[in-house]
């Protein structure tokens, strides 16, 4: 994987525009998702795109498998405001059609687009329209000659696939390029991006492809994306889950917030509980989390279950409570405010959150 990179020193990349969103060049790491509807169903797709945006998606991608979907893309583009990406395989003319319909970016897989000449035609159209193009290498569709050379879809094979496309585009003066190198293997994904980051300053779209459903998919995605972010790699992310776009966006937000790359709203610090816990901390923490959903201010809230680590951890948060048998001790900005009985812990803590949120708005 080359030389060790210092944690959180961000890999320098050029800035590429995807509609209203800047990718790379020091811009905030953006969150992408993909609609799971049949793009030809305009109403269903528009609804899902809006749901994803309301959940926090910065960019939404749509699959465009045929001419009917390309025509639907044109109508969808008129009805949603967020940056839209057309995902194209096999038929390069669909990419050109979507660009003419207002696509902010097209995702093209070098292994399925039909050759470098067609790739170049798409890239030229994207540049003409002021749109971006993502060279989206996937381990499942690397070009046959590269697979034969490397003995499979290894990280070196994926990087060579990307480099082959980049060399052609750069030789023709194409700009507005984003690169991805995704594998369903977390380790191969990390190695591929680490190698690519040494060779290119184009923005990198990171994620683990086909991560799977539920908890396993979130864990694989978090392992891959967080490792890359810690290495300073990643300008835009997509959590690829077998599930709804809203689930993908929620997971992406949690990853970015946990890595302190972006802050979206309150963060709860809550102890795992043990034999020293003398309150129903699980219920308290869940109720606090539920009521915090209405806030979008980045406040750190501690909900601790005993006097061992509780007071110290709570003091490190913006507001917090350390619970014991007789109730809870409240803290705000490092200061002890007093105690409350058990049945008032949640209400008292939320009053502190509201007060802190108001202070943040005034500051």
The pLDDT assigned to 238 comes to 97
Q: Which residues of 39-75 are buried (b: 16+ CB within 10 A; e: fewer)?
A: bbebeebbebbbbbbebbbbbbbbbbbeeebbbbbee
- What does the pLDDT look like over 202-245, one tens digit per residue? 999 999 988 788 899 999 999 999 999 999 999 999 999 999 99
The pTM assigned to this predicted structure is 0.90
The pLDDT assigned to 2 comes to 46
The pLDDT assigned to 311 comes to 62
The pLDDT assigned to 305 comes to 85
**Rounded CA separation 91/272 (Å):** 52
The pLDDT assigned to 3 comes to 47
Sign of CA dihedral 117, 67, 98, 41: negative
What is the number of alpha carbons within 13 Å of residue 362 lying toward its C-beta? Answer: 6
**Rounded CA separation 186/182 (Å):** 9
- Write the CATH number of the domain with boundaries 267-362: 3.30.413.10
**Rounded CA separation 223/242 (Å):** 17
The pLDDT assigned to 308 comes to 67
Residues of the chain with pLDDT under 50: 1-6
**Residues contacting 211, CB < 8 A, separation 6+:** 184, 217, 218, 220, 221, 239, 240, 241
- Write the CATH number of the domain with boundaries 16-258: 3.20.20.20
Equal CATH topology for 16-258 and 267-362: no
Domain boundaries, the chain: 16-258, 267-362
| Lookup: tokens for 267 | 């963060």
The pLDDT assigned to 1 comes to 42
């Amino acid at each position: 994987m080359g030389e060790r990179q210092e944690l959180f020193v961000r890999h320098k990349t050029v800035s590429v525009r995807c509609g209203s969103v800047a990718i790379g060049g020091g811009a905030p790491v953006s969150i992408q998702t993909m609609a799971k509807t049949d793009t030809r169903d305009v109403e269903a797709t528009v609804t899902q795109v809006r749901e994803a945006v309301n959940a926090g998606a910065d960019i939404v991608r749509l699959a465009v498998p045929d001419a009917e979907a390309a025509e639907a893309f044109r109508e969808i583009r008129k009805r949603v405001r967020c940056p839209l990406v057309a995902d194209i395989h096999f038929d390069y003319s669909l990419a050109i059609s979507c660009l003419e319909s207002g696509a902010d970016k097209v995702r093209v897989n070098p292994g399925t687009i039909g050759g470098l000449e067609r790739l170049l035609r798409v890239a030229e159209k994207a540049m003409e329209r002021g749109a971006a193009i993502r060279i989206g290498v996937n381990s499942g569709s690397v070009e046959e000659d590269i697979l034969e050379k490397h003995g499979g879809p290894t990280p070196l094979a994926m990087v060579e696939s990307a480099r082959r496309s980049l060399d052609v585009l750069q030789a023709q003066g194409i700009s507005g390029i984003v690169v991805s190198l995704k594998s369903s293997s977390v380790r191969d994904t990390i190695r591929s991006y680490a190698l690519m980051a040494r060779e290119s300053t184009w923005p990198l779209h990171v994620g683990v492809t086909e991560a799977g459903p539920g908890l396993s998919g979130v864990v694989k995605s978090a392992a891959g994306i967080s490792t890359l972010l810690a290495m300073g790699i990643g300008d835009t992310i997509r959590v690829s889950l077998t599930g709804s776009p809203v689930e993908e966006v929620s997971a992406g937000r949690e990853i970015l917030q946990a890595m302190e790359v972006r802050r979206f709203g309150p963060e709860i610090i809550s102890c795992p509980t043990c034999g020293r816990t003398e309150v129903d901390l699980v219920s308290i923490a869940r109720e606090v989390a539920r009521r915090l959903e209405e806030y979008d201010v980045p406040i750190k809230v501690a909900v601790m279950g005993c006097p061992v680590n509780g007071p110290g951890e709570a003091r490190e948060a913006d507001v917090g409570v350390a619970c014991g048998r007789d109730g809870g001790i409240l803290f705000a900005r490092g200061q002890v405010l007093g105690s409350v009985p058990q049945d008032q812990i949640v209400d008292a803590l939320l009053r502190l959150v509201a007060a802190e949120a108001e202070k943040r708005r005034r500051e």
